[in-house]
Chains A and B, each alone.
Chain A
Amino acid sequence: MRFREAWRLSKTPYSELTFRSAVMARGSTRGGFGYGGSPAARVKSIMRGAQVSKFIFAGIIGGATAYTMLQYLFDKTPTNLVGGITFSLAITLAYVVLYSLQVLPSFSSAEAYVVLSTLPLSESDLSLLTILSIVRTFDFIVVAAIVAQVAMVAYTTASVLATVAMALAGVANAVFGVALSLWLSGLFQKNITRGGRGKAGAIARFVFLISWGLAAASLGFLFNVASYAIPALDSAISGTFSSTGVPVVFSLVHPFTAGIMIASIVFPSFHTISPSLGLASLLSPFAFAVYLALSVFAARRALALAGSVAHGPTVTVVRQRAAEFLLRIRRPISAYVLKDVRVSSKNPSSAFIYALPVLETLVVFFSISGAKELHTIEILVSTFLASFLTLVSATILLNTEGSGLDYTLSLPLSARVMVLAKSAIATVAYLPVPVAIWALLLAGRSFSPSLYLIPLIEIGAVSAATSAELSFFIQRYRKAGVRQTSSGIETRGMNLMSAGDLPRLFGAFAVAVGLVGAPILAYGVGYLFFLDRFRALGVMTLVALGELGVVQLYLRKG
């Protein structure tokens, strides 16, 4: 088969892969809460959403790469060049993995390739089509990253050798990202297909979940990487640690290796800054060569994995004969919570929710750990920021239903129970925030009770806000009737992808932000009015409880 023909044909399995991943995350025939419309419209909407998402990721990666290099453009120091290259590679790697985990979970199940394998195609053609469908998943993103990296290095250094090295580093980095994604995708598939109720299995799944949470949190960290990592790098290269072994270690670790090697090319005197940097400059080309060789190995492994998937699932299913059929019966709301936790923990796009408590804690830590003395304003701001992040978890939970949504809607389950269950999970995700704030208050020897109570009272507002946010989608979805559109397509509920419904989506989010912000604002107003912290806390409590009461009343009536 000619490459051009294979590229054209690979669009079909790629579309199927994208569609299956979206369906896996949002739901089957209905396409999830808020994804109404006729089946044809839903398919179109999902495919359009995937394409838009790919463009957005490509834009973010290209922009982030250019941003990391900007500092070097204005201040041409070796540190800024090493920092720019290193972090642009790190961001590309992180985003490729993050994006692919949304798209590739259905890849390892091989279902998207079942039809292909029944057609009279040779082994090599089948592998080629599978591989090209994977390439299509990353195409814009990887190309945008490499083009941005090469263009920025060429423009800022005007060195052909440095540009070639950057191109090689960019390609190797992208290969690592793709290989890592395929490996993680297989891991998630194994996690889904691993059966049994043994303690060992449960522990393995829990460890996997925590690992995923921490990995996702570290990706989030990259958003702020420049503000705290560049100074650390600066001290390693030209500051306190320049004469220690730190630069040598950096020169051996990807993606610092590429940064140090390219800086050595651009700044011939780079190795003379300190003996340690001299050794690092000497070692970096060798380490770079090793990474290039590793990338070739990773590419071969990825191609082999992609090829093997087309011929059938690679997972081993463990099947045990059940000794008994006993069930644990719970209250409907508890059963729904447990179901959501079980389902969301096995889907990479929704498992991100388990990283949120870690992210929230980090947000709190970084927003107030620098303060010499903790005041009410710092506690109020960090509480608000963490509450705001919790609102994201509520929307993620809407996508945990997967293919079971149709079935759940046929059960005698009110919208109120569904809202409360998801809101309870989101609220639990907020709970590490008060603990983190208390730890920082204790560490700073601050014992004012009002400071300790602020994040605690906010729990009520978080619960009210997430309930309101969720009910906007769930209640509306369940209650919405049929309306005829000008195009003749039935629309049921709300379509998040349609421009007409975007204002309502933003409206729901704005209401939720208002609900988490109102008690914080109430504290401020209360304090200005009474000039007393405890009375201000009283006002804050009243507002938070009031919000909770109104939302509960609305849910009962709804």
Chain B
Amino acid sequence: MEPARPVRVIDCWDVRKQYGTVQALAGLNLRVMPGEIYGLLGPNGAGKSTMIKIINGLTEPTSGQVRVLGLDPQESPVEVKARIGYVPETTMLYESLSPRDFFEFVASVRRLDKRTADVRVSKLAEAFGLQDYYDSPIATLSMGTKQKVTIIAALIHDPSLLVLDEPLNGLDAKSSRIFKDLISLQAQKPGSAVLFSTHIMEVAEHLCTRIGIIYEGKIVAEGSLEQLRASASAAGGGEATLEEVFLRLTHEEEEVTETVKALRDAFSAPAA
């Protein structure tokens, strides 16, 4: 008898998104399995944030099918959002509220019981060193501290799916390490997964179990780091780091060399 296939946490098929004359997604296919930390890499404007917003039900795809934890985010937005923890690319919070006010709001909207919310927020606030800022208005916090508030709010309900769009922006080394460990723990929970978008190759290299490279609205390569290296090496160029693999697959390696050369010439030329 064939073993039962695990339910895919994210299942996107031929997703397209059109912004006027600009095609942000051009038939993107994406599957994330339970236990995976899926890294979404791509140059600026490749479609990463659009895809993340579609998965969260914040933007509607022009066409294609999207299933998150077996649900359609457009058909069941509340149910999908209830099971996702989301850290957006830019920190957008209610600036006049304090972290405590904000967590109360988020925990109440997510219908958490007081005991669970208190335990989780206390542990997370202590872990991220939020004691001194807990009752200060968010407007007065640094970018990194605001990011910590967003991260705690995303973890407060123990989500089945963590969707993280550049989550390490502004975090100090200690918080960054704690968060990366939390991500690994989160992915190990049964039926859970993490979708991670980042520009930092080292983070993707060390943290992600599978990486998808998105370019011009499509996944152009997908697999574990070793698989990506192998495919890059097969395409010519020998052993490569993830950064080199990324630049090769997004056809940017030659462009980078030429641009750097042009810049060097421009800056070494005597001023007129």
A325 proximal to B (CB < 8 A): yes
Q: Which residue of B lies closest to A317 (CB)?
A: B140
Tell me whether chain A's interface is mostly helix, strand or loop, or mixed: loop
Known: A319-B132, A336-B109. A404 touches B104 (CB 8 A): no
A308 at the interface (CB under 8 A from B): no
Query: Complex: how many Å from CA A338 to CA B108?
Result: 11
Decide: A327 and B92 in contact? CB cutoff 8 A: no
Query: Which of A38, A319, A329, A343 counts the most B-chain CB atoms under 10 A from its CB?
Result: A329
Contact status B135-A338, CB under 8 Å: no
In the complex formed, the residue of B with least CB distance to A487 is B20
Segment at the B interface, from A251-259, A411-419, A541-549, A550-558: A411-419
Q: How far is the CA of A539 from the CA of B131 in the complex (A)?
A: 58
In angstroms, how far is the closest chain B Cβ from the Cβ of A553? 19
| Cβ A330 vs Cβ B108 within 8 A | yes
- Write out the residue numbers on chain B whose beta carbons fall within 8 Å of the beta carbon of A407: 88, 92-94, 150, 153
Does A29 make an interface contact (CB < 8 A)?
Answer: yes
Task: Report the minimum CB–CB distance from A38 to chain B (whole Å).
Answer: 7
A481 within 8 A of B: yes
Q: Which residues of B contact A403 (CB under 8 A)?
A: 92-95
Chain-B contact segment, one of A10-18, A189-197, A367-375, A429-437: A189-197
Contact A196 to B108, CB < 8 A, known contacts A38-B20, A403-B94, A487-B20: no
Q: Assess whether A48 is interfacial by the CB under 8 Å rule.
A: no
Contact B108 A489 (CB under 8 A): no
Give the complex CA separation of A404 and B150 in angstroms.
11
Indicate with 1 or 0, residue by residue over A143-156, a CB within 8 angstroms of chain B CB atoms: 00000000000000
Interface: B121 (CB within 8 A): yes
Per-residue CB proximity of B92-107 to A under 8 Å, as 1/0? 1111111011011111
Per the bound structure, the CA–CA distance linking A328 and B130 in Å amounts to 18
Q: How far is the CA of A322 from the CA of B93 in the complex (A)?
A: 20
Which A310-329 residues have C-beta < 8 A from chain B? Answer: 317-322, 324-329
Give Cα distance in the complex from A488 to B19, angstroms: 7
Question: Does residue B21 face the partner (Cβ distance < 8 Å to A)?
Answer: yes
Q: Chain B residue with minimal CB distance to A417?
A: B109
Residues in B whose Cβ lies below 8 Å from that of A409: 58
B112 sits at the interface (CB 8 A): yes
B122 to chain A, nearest CB (A): 4
Q: Does A332 have its Cβ within 8 Å of any Cβ on chain B?
A: yes
- What interface size band does chain A fall in? 35 or more
A109 at the interface (CB under 8 A from B): yes
A405 to B92, CA, bound (A): 8
Q: Is B78 an interface residue (CB 8 A)?
A: yes
Within 8 A of B (CB), among A24-43: 24, 28-29, 38
Given known contacts A192-B137, A193-B140, A197-B135, A411 and B94 CB-to-CB distance under 8 angstroms:
no
- Which residues of A lie under 8 Å from residue B110 when comparing CB positions? 411-412
A336 to B95, CA, bound (A): 16
Question: Does any Cβ of B come within 8 Å of A410's Cβ?
Answer: yes
| A482 close to B (CB within 8 Å) | yes
B131 x A322 contact (CB < 8 A): yes
Chain A residues, CB < 8 A from B65: none
Give bound CA distance, A402 to B138, whole Å: 13
Contact (Cβ within 8 A) A404 B134: no
Query: Which chain B residues in 148-197 approach chain A with CB under 8 Å?
Result: 150, 153
Does A334 make an interface contact (CB < 8 A)? yes
- The verdict on B198 contacting chain A, using a C-beta distance below 8 Å, is no
A387 close to B (CB within 8 Å): no
Known pairs A335-B104, A406-B88 / 20 extra A-B pairs, C-beta < 8 Å: A24-B95, A29-B90, A197-B98, A197-B100, A319-B133, A319-B136, A322-B132, A334-B108, A336-B105, A339-B105, A343-B97, A404-B93, A407-B92, A407-B93, A407-B150, A410-B86, A412-B79, A412-B82, A482-B62, A484-B18
Question: What are the 10 A-B residue pairs with the smallest beta carbon separation, nearest first?
Answer: A335-B108, A488-B20, A322-B134, A404-B94, A412-B82, A195-B136, A346-B96, A412-B81, A325-B122, A406-B92
20 A-B residue pairs with CB within 8 Å? A28-B90, A29-B92, A109-B139, A192-B95, A192-B96, A192-B139, A193-B139, A194-B137, A195-B137, A197-B135, A325-B118, A326-B122, A327-B121, A329-B104, A329-B108, A329-B112, A405-B92, A410-B86, A481-B60, A482-B18
Chain A residues proximal to chain B, CB less than 8 Å: 24, 28-29, 38, 109, 192-197, 317-322, 324-332, 334-336, 338-339, 342-343, 346-347, 402-407, 409-414, 481-482, 484-485, 487-490
